[in-house]
Amino acid sequence: MGRAKCYAIALVLLCLLLVVKSSVTQTCGKRKVVNQLIVNGTEAKDGHWPWHVAIFHNNARTFVYACGGTIVDQNTILTAAHCLMTSNGIIARERLVVQVGRNRLRVASNRVQEHEALVLIVHPEYIVNRIQHDIALIKLAADITYTDYIQPICLWNRGNNLNLIVGSWGTVIGFGRDETDETSDTLREASIPVVSHITCIESNRKAFDSLLTSNMFCAGNRDGVVPADNRACNGDSGGGLFFNYNDVWFVRGVVSFTKPRQNTLFCDTKEYTVFTDVAKYLRWIGQHIHGIGGQPVAVEDSNNRKIGLLPMSTCGANRYASRNESTKPIMLGYPWMGLIECTKKVTFDESILCQAALISDMYLVGLAQCAKRIPKCFISTVRLGDYDINKSKDCAQVDGQEVCSPPVQTLRIQSVIAHPEYNQPRYANDIAIIRLRDRADTTWINVKPICLPVTHELRSQKSTHYIHTSWPLLEFWRTDTSVNLLERSIGEFIDSIECQNMIRAANITIMATSRQICIKQQNLRSESEECKKAFAGTPLQLVQQVDGESRYVLYGMLSFGPASCTHLLPDVYTSVPSYMDWILENIQE
């Protein structure tokens, strides 16, 4: 096993009774998958350690595995404080990605859930140089969905006397460096005994005498009973040391540090590993665990009144709710689609610039790039309720009958509020709020708003596939009139780590972040047909339960993608749930 630094593995013990929305009792520390399987440690089988977390840092366009962690509840991760630090202090939360349910670092799996951080909480008395109080919590922006492969651990509840566990064998897990000093692709586990402070200090006074405190303990093998390398190493930091009592697992330690080998940064497998003693921090942890059970609540209380400006009782109309998505008629099926028109400053000609999504009769959500990237024109109007962009009257065959929609509403734009941190880094924070001068008439069947993920529950929804709807852009324009029609496709989700690897392999200088959603391109045609690309601002949607009804909810807006159609590169969408607080702060009466 290994660590990202010369620090050992931190353990987290948590015993919480969680009640999920389904009203089914959720218990901690219980394996749901029955399986039998760190340096020389054995490979852990899928589901064997469902509370383990992989933490990644985004460094210069590359997601790098940094540390382990442990699921405490649906939105809290326990880890080591040093796992959240850089040379400039605490890492920016936008540069950190948390993945749960991962058993392989380099192999994608639909069991994995990816989460962005909302708040990073480092213990207030953490001392970097002396490695004291090396413990931290990550509060997630969205709730974890528990599965057989993703479960919380129990916090230690058996007292904080170290003598109770001295001589006991715990299990440490992680993706840390293996016996070849390479980061392990597979999650590994190792059983190690806890030793007394005296034993630890006397084993190497120079390494431990000045650092070891009563809030730490040592564990490992130095007597040859089992392989000495069967322990934590670089990359295992932040992960837990776990103990089993009556088939329930508890976290007692968090990997903190080990002594490095001479003239290297790698751990010395002949030395003990030092753990932060979770039992000494239960009160501090408890101060940051709110809403046991992870019940869904609206985002930021101060914005609750703003939610009243959104049509939550009528949004996301699902006209064909009884049908499978791929068989639903497209016409009148997605009535929140908006086309942003750009007026040239010299000729005053108008052209379609990008797409946006109607969220109320006064507002749309779009992209910041659409307001900033065209210096020779200005966005002037929004077209709502369109289907065939080249016809003034839209009609189509629906279930064998011709159905026509009301005319398009073309409305003037009053203002555009682009996110203040747009393009920092490139294409990041690519989102804008568009306010209309006059209200859209949402009583028309072809003009309806989509729902926003305003509750914590909706923000927490993760899916392997998303719905996107767009008018296509052609690489080679032809006269075929079918290319002017609104189209729908189902896109497959790609996690941020795989997404960034694909972008980097193509030598593109764009950094995918945890506030974006990467989608595999699905719109390739045969060689005899045109390759169709979507407009910037194409909405990404899911059907969710809102106020007891099946409705469409907006989850993303297409921000950038490859210039050509290819499966080698993904389309990248701005994640709308990541910006819900900002959206609510900026909409007005």
* Catalytic residue IDs: 82, 134, 237
- Cβ–Cβ under 8 Å, residues 357 and 447: no
User: What is the distance between the alpha carbons of residues 337 and 539, in angstroms, rounded to a whole number?
Assistant: 8
SS3 208: helix
The torsion of the CA quartet 472, 476, 480, 482, rounded to 10 degrees, works out to -10
C-alpha to C-alpha distances, 530 to 42, 317, 476, 485, 521, nearest whole angstrom: 51, 32, 7, 14, 15
The torsion of the CA quartet 252, 256, 262, 263, rounded to 10 degrees, works out to 150
Query: What tokens appear for 18 in the block?
Result: 């969680």
User: What is the distance between the alpha carbons of residues 114 and 97, in angstroms, rounded to a whole number?
Assistant: 7
584 closest CA partner among 300, 313, 180, 315: 300
Q: How far is CA 351 from the centre of its chain?
A: 35
Strand partners, 96: 57
- Cβ–Cβ under 8 Å, residues 97 and 116: yes
C-alpha to C-alpha distances, 311 to 358, 380, 542, nearest whole angstrom: 11, 25, 17
Strand partners, 242: 171, 251
